[in-house]
Structures are given as structure tokens and as C-alpha cells.
Amino acid sequence: MVLVALVAEGETLPRPGREALSLARTLVDGGAPGPVVAAVTGPGAVQAGGEAFALGADRVLAVPGREATADRKLLVDDLLAAWEQAGGQEGLILCPGDEAGRELAPRLAFRLGAGVASEVVRVRWEGGRVLAERPAYGGKAVATVALPGPVGVVQVKDRAFEAASPEPGRTGQVEELPAAAGPERLRVVEEVREEAGGVPLEEAPVVVAGGRGLGGPEPFQEELAELARLLGGAVGASLAAVDAGWVPPALQVGQTGKSVAPELYLAVGISGASQHLAGITGAKHVVAINKDREAPIFRRAELGVVGDWREIVPALIDAVRALRS
């Protein structure tokens, strides 16, 4: 069995969850023992679970009796109840690359006495066992991890796998389970959602990202924001720009920031440290503007412009405006 541990977002499945489901389907279709079971928690679990069939689940177990922000321990109890209901003696549990998945994976593994591999970018079923590949040394190497034992837990990296398009005819009956009983040790008393204008960074088809080379917060709000607006994209940043207080942490791209997979990633005044590049492995095309021709970003970029961004970016904005008029 491959069980995908999911927390519903309202009445839908979050994108990282859909990516994990698609991976589960691919693994089982490629020879790993099935079925694909989706275990969904959160108040909208039954409705969201309905979607899981079209995305590749053979069986869907929903535990709707709990807030998605609930004590993670209780969510783990709910998911383990689903695992047992599905006959869980052996198999693989996949957790998505969102916040819930990152938190639930090690907890599930601990409770099952299973091995866990996190931020996985590739999974293979070979010789009767799961082999998971994950970046090591800040993305400079790839480690292949074998998960021995009857159960393994894999948390997939956000954006490392593409979510398949739903198959409209594929439907089924969602099985509803009661929430597991247990003492609540933590309660979320308030959730503050950040106001995000424009295209969300993780979904943007174009990301215009800036680094320390921009020299201050203004170019992010002016030149980069304008270029992103013209290209229908979003502004991103390196950790150095975040640490300098020029942009909020929500804009950080990289190993400890967001993973993005746009059609075009434009890196302006970013050196291209491995920790930054770890966040753009899924970018289709990378273009870099940097005044240092030796900057490592040029090894990742398809097109590089050596020069001062202060000359190049305004000229680029004019050129895009001219193309659009």
C-alpha cells in the first residue's frame, strides 16, 4: 500500500498534496505494491477526499472531525487510524511538501518505528524496496536513501513532482472515520493570514528575484515590482536580502525559503549560492543579471547578462513595455 497523508485546505486538496498523490499513482503503476490510499484530515476532508479519486487514489479515508490547524499529535492519531483501517502492516506513507507534511512525516515515522526521508526529489521502487533521493550538502550532492523495514515514510519536496491532471471519470465512495480520541495538548488560538497582493510567489509563471546586489529595499518595490507586474509574475529574494530587512521572509527563495517552479526565473544581483539554487530546481528557464562574470548563478542560467542591474533592468522594463504597446 502507498498511503498519502493529507490535510485538506478548506474543501480541496492543497497543490503539494496533489503532487504527492500523483507520485503515489506513478509508483504503484510502476510496480510498487498498491493500492493508493488517500488519508485526508481537516474539516473539509470528505469533500476534498472526493477529489483524490480523480487524482489517482484507489481508496479514500476521510477524518473530518478536526480543525486543520489542530494539535499535530491528534492529526497523527487520525492518520494512523486511517493507516490501520487500510490494513497498514506494511507499505509506504507519502507526506506532501507543505507545512503540514513536513511536520507530520517525522511524527508518523516515529510512531510506526519506521525510517523517514525528507525533502525527497525522486522516489524509485527497485528490488522490492523504496529508494528515495534527496539533496545533501545544501544541494551540492544527491543522497539516495533506502528505507528498510516493512514501513517507510517519505516527505516529498514541494514542486519536485508534477501534479497529474484529474481524470474526470475516476470516482469512488469516500469512507468516513471518526476523529481519534485523545487529550489536546496544543490549541491554535489565532491564525493571522498575510495579505498577499498579486500573483502568489509559488504559483507565479515568472519570478523576478533580487539579492544583496540590489543594495537596498527600494529596487524591490520599484524596478523589480514593475518588471514582475509587466511579466505577470511575482517578486522573490535571496536570504541575504531578507536578512538585510529589505523584503519580508515570505519572499525568500531557497533551501530554507520557498521552492518555485516558474517558466522564467530572473535572478538580479544574486550570486547563486547552492542554498539559493535549491529553491529553483524546478524553474524551466533561468536568466541572470550580475556584474561579476564569475558568479555561480551563470552556471545555472541559460542566459546571462554581465553588467550593472541599474542599467540593465530599466532598459529591460522599457523593452517589455514597448513589446506590450
Ligand X SMILES: Cc1cc2nc3c(=O)[nH]c(=O)nc-3n(C[C@H](O)[C@H](O)[C@H](O)COP(=O)(O)OP(=O)(O)OC[C@H]3O[C@@H](n4cnc5c(N)ncnc54)[C@H](O)[C@@H]3O)c2cc1C
Comparing C-alpha atoms, which of 273, 2, 302 is closest to residue 123?
Answer: 2
Distance between CA atoms of residues 41 and 32, nearest Å: 25
Instruction: List, in order, residues 6 or more apart from 39 with CB less than 8 Å away.
Output: 3, 4, 5, 6, 61, 63, 78, 79, 82, 83, 86
Choice between 7 and 260, CB closer to ligand X:
260
Residue 267: CB minimum distance to ligand X, A: 8
Residue 171: CB minimum distance to ligand X, A: 40
Choice between 42 and 279, CB closer to ligand X:
279
- Would you tell me which residues interact with ligand X (CB under 6 A)? 211-213, 238-241, 252, 254-257, 269-271, 273, 275-276, 279, 289-292, 295, 308-310
Choice between 44 and 257, CB closer to ligand X:
257
Choice between 83 and 246, CB closer to ligand X:
246
Residue 239: CB minimum distance to ligand X, A: 3
Rg (CA), the chain: 21
Residue 122: CB minimum distance to ligand X, A: 21
Choice between 35 and 282, CB closer to ligand X:
282
Residue 133: CB minimum distance to ligand X, A: 20
Comparing C-alpha atoms, which of 159, 154, 132 is closest to residue 19?
Answer: 159
The residue type found at 42 is: G
Distance between CA atoms of residues 60 and 38, nearest Å: 5
Choice between 35 and 307, CB closer to ligand X:
307
Helix (H, G, I), strand (E, B) or coil at 138: helix
How many CA atoms lie less than 13 Å away from 230 in the CB half-sphere?
Answer: 19
